[in-house]
C-alpha cells in the first residue's frame, strides 16, 4: 500500500506515462493516417475495410474465450508457472484460429464474402500480437512493452504508405497493413522477451487452464457488449443508409478516438492502482481525487477537439468524407459518456465482481441496438449517435448507483454535471454553421470547462512535475 495520498497520485501518473508511449502509438497512428485513408480509398471502400477491421473486436474474445485477459492477469502472479500459462493460452488461441478459419472458408465459398482470406490472416496476426505483448507486460517488461508498441506502429505506417499510396491495393492493402504491423510487434515481443524459452517443452496444465477459463469466460459477454455499444451504430447505418453513409459515419468516429486515447492509456495504470488500493482504509479520498482529475482531463480534451472540429476535419477528412464533420460533435459527446463509465470498470475488476459489470454493459448494448434500429431510419447517422449517447448514459447511471453500495466513492455530482453541461453546449454550438458570436460562445464554454476544477489543475501539475523529476533522477 502506498505511503500517502500524494505518492499514490505520483505513482499512478508515472505508470500512465509509461503505458502512454506504447498504447498511444498504435491508436494515434490510425488518426495520423486518416488523410491517407480518405485520399486512397473511396467512402464505400473505407467503410467496408473499417467494418472488417472492427469485426476482429467481436471475433477475438468470442472464439478465444477471452483467454488473453487471463494470460495477462495470471502472468502477474508469482506462483503461476509461466511456461504452462503461455502454453495454455496458445492452445486456446489455436482453437480460435481454427474456428475462424472454418468460418472464413464458409463465408468465402458459401456466401461469397470478399476479403475473407485477408480477414483470417489479420485475425491470426492479432492473436500473435495480443498473446506475446500481454505476456511481456505481465512479466514486468514495461520498457520493452513500450518498444513493441512503437515497432507495431512504425511497421503499420510504412506498410500503409507502401500498400495504399504506392501500390493502390485498396481494401486488401488496408487490412494487410494492420496485419504486418501486428506481426512485427508480436515477433519483436516473442524474441525480445525470450518467450520462446517457455515453449520447450510445451506443457499444458489442465487445472490452470480451468482457472483461467473461470476467470476469462465471464468477461466475454462484457467485451462483446462493449463492442455492440461502441460500433454497432456503424452496422445499423450500413443496413439502412448504405455503405457511403456508413463510411462517413465511421470516418467521423475516428475523431472521438482522440478522447478514447487519453482514457485507454490511463486505464492500464488505473487497473493496477485500484487493485492495489481497494482495501485501503482511506481509499475513498484517493478514488474521489482521481475521478475529479480524470473527468477534467477527458472532458476538457473532448471539448477542445469539438471546438477545433472544423480545422481538424478539413485536415483528416478529405474529398467525399468532408461532410462527416457534422457528426463529430455528437460522437465526441457520446465518447465522453463512454470514457466516464469505463472508469468504473476497474473497481469491479479489483473487487472480483463482474456481475453488475456485465449486466450494465449488456443493458447498454441492448438499448443501443434497439434505439439505433428505431432512430436511424428517421434520423440517419444522427440516430446512431443519439442511441450511443443514451446507452452510455444508462451504463454510467447503473454503475455509479451500484458502486455507492459497495465502496466509499465520493462523487462531486454538481461539478461533474456542470462539466457535462458545458461540454454538451460546445457540442450543440459546433453542430451548426455559425458566425463569430457562436465561435466566441464556444471558446468561453471551453475556458470555463478547462478551469472548472482549479484544485485538480494545480495538484495535477505539481504531481506531474514530481513524477518527471523522480523518473529523471533515476536515469
Q: How far, in Å, CA of 249 to CA of 290, rounded?
A: 33
* CB-CB contact of 81 with 205 (8 Å): yes
* CB-CB contact of 403 with 409 (8 Å): yes
pLDDT (0 to 100) of residue 1: 44
116-138 residue pLDDT tens = 898 999 999 999 999 999 999 88
56-97 residue pLDDT tens = 888 888 899 889 988 987 887 778 899 999 999 999 999 999
pLDDT (0 to 100) of residue 266: 83
* CB-CB contact of 120 with 101 (8 Å): yes
Q: How far, in Å, CA of 383 to CA of 288, rounded?
A: 34
- Output the 3-class SS for the chain: CCCCHHHHHHHHHHHHHHHHHHHHHHHHHHHHCHHHHHHHCCHHHHHHHHHHHHHHHHHHHHHHCCHHHHHHHHHCCCCCCHHHHHHHHHHHHHHHHHHHHHHHHHHHHCCCCCCHHHHHHHHHHHHHHHHHHHHHHHCCCHHHHHHHHHHHHHHHHHHHHHHHHHCCCHHHHHHHHHHHHHHHHHHHHHHHCCHHHHHCCCCCCHHHHHHHHHHHCCHHHHHHHHHHHHHHHHHHHHHHHCHHHHHHHHHHHCCCHHHHHHHHHHHHHHHHHHHHHCCCCCHHHHHHHHHHHHHHHHHHHHHHHHHCHHHHHHHHCCHHHHHHHHHHHHHHHHHHHHHHHHHCHHHHHHHCCCHHHHHHHHHHHHHHHHHHHHHHHHHCHHHHHHHHHHHHHHHHHHHHHHHCCCCCCCCCHHHHHHHHHHHHHHHHHCCCCCCHHHHHHHHHHHHHHHCCCHHHHHHHHHHHHHHHHHHHHCC
342-398 residue pLDDT tens = 888 888 777 766 677 788 888 888 888 888 888 878 877 778 788 888 888 888 888
Q: Is 201 left (phi over 0), alpha (psi -120 to 50) or beta?
A: beta
Q: How far, in Å, CA of 97 to CA of 231, rounded?
A: 23
Q: What predicted TM-score, i.e. pTM, was given to this entire model?
A: 0.71
- Residue ranges in the chain whose pLDDT is less than 50: 1-3
Query: Residue holding cell 500517502?
Result: 4
167-184 residue pLDDT tens = 888 888 888 999 999 999
pLDDT (0 to 100) of residue 471: 54
pLDDT (0 to 100) of residue 27: 63
pLDDT (0 to 100) of residue 318: 62
Q: How far, in Å, CA of 67 to CA of 71, rounded?
A: 6
Amino acid at each position: 500500500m502506498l505511503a500517502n495520498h500524494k505518492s499514490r497520485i505520483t505513482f499512478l501518473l508515472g505508470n500512465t506515462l509509461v503505458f502512454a508511449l506504447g498504447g498511444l502509438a498504435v491508436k494515434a497512428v490510425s488518426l495520423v493516417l486518416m488523410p491517407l485513408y480518405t485520399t486512397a480509398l473511396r467512402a464505400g471502400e473505407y467503410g467496408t475495410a473499417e467494418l472488417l477491421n472492427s469485426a476482429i473486436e467481436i471475433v477475438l474474445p468470442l472464439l478465444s474465450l477471452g483467454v488473453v485477459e487471463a494470460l495477462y492477469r495470471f502472468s502477474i502472479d508469482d506462483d503461476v508457472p509461466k511456461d504452462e500459462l503461455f502454453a495454455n493460452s496458445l492452445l486456446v488461441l489455436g482453437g480460435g484460429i481454427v474456428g475462424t478459419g472454418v468460418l472464413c472458408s464458409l463465408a468465402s465459398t458459401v456466401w461469397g464474402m470478399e476479403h475473407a482470406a485477408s480477414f483470417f490472416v489479420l485475425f491470426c496476426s492479432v492473436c500473435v500480437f495480443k498473446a506475446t505483448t500481454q505476456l511481456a507486460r505481465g512479466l514486468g517488461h514495461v520498457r520493452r512493452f513500450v518498444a513493441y508498441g512503437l515497432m507495431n506502429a512504425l511497421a503499420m505506417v510504412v506498410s500503409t504508405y507502401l500498400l495504399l499510396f504506392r501500390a493502390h491495393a485498396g481494401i486488401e492493402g488496408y487490412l494487410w497493413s494492420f496485419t504486418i504491423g501486428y506481426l512485427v510487434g508480436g515477433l519483436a515481443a516473442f524474441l525480445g522477451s525470450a518467450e520462446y524459452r517457455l515453449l520447450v517443452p510445451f506443457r499444458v496444465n489442465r487445472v490452470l487452464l480451468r482457472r483461467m477459463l473461470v476467470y476469462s469466460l465471464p468477461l466475454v459477454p462484457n467485451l462483446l457488449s462493449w463492442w455492440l455499444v461502441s460500433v454497432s451504430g456503424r452496422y445499423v447505418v450500413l443496413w439502412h443508409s448504405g455503405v457511403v453513409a456508413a463510411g462517413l459515419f465511421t470516418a467521423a468516429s475516428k475523431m472521438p478516438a482522440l478522447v478514447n486515447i487519453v482514457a485507454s492509456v490511463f486505464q492500464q495504470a488505473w487497473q493496477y492502482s485500484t487493485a492495489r488500493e481497494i482495501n485501503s482504509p482511506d481509499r475513498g479520498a484517493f478514488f474521489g481525487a482521481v475521478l475529479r482529475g480524470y473527468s477534467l482531463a477527458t472532458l476538457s480534451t473532448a471539448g477542445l477537439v469539438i471546438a477545433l472540429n472544423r480545422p481538424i476535419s478539413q485536415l483528416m477528412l478529405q474529398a467525399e468524407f468532408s461532410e462527416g464533420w457534422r457528426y463529430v460533435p455528437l460522437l465526441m459527446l457520446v465518447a465522453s459518456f463512454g470514457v466516464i463509465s469505463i472508469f468504473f470498470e476497474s473497481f469491479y475488476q479489483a473487487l472480483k465482481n463482474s456481475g453488475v459489470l456485465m449486466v450494465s454493459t449488456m443493458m447498454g448494448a441492448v438499448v443501443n441496438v434497439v434505439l439505433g434500429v428505431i432512430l436511424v431510419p428517421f434520423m440517419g447517422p444522427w440516430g446512431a449517435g443519439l442511441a450511443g449517447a443514451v446507452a452510455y448514459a444508462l451504463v454510467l447511471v447503473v454503475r455509479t448507483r451500484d458502486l455507492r453500495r459497495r465502496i466509499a466513492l465520493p462523487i462531486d455530482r454538481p461539478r461533474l454535471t456542470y462539466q457535462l453541461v458545458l461540454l454538451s453546449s460546445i457540442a450543440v454550438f459546433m453542430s451548426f454553421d455559425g458566425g463569430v458570436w457562436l465561435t466566441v460562445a464556444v471558446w468561453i464554454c471551453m475556458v470555463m470547462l478547462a478551469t472548472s476544477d482549479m484544485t485538480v489543475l494545480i495538484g495535477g501539475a505539481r504531481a506531474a512535475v514530481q513524477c518527471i523529476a523522480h523518473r529523471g533522477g533515476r536515469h
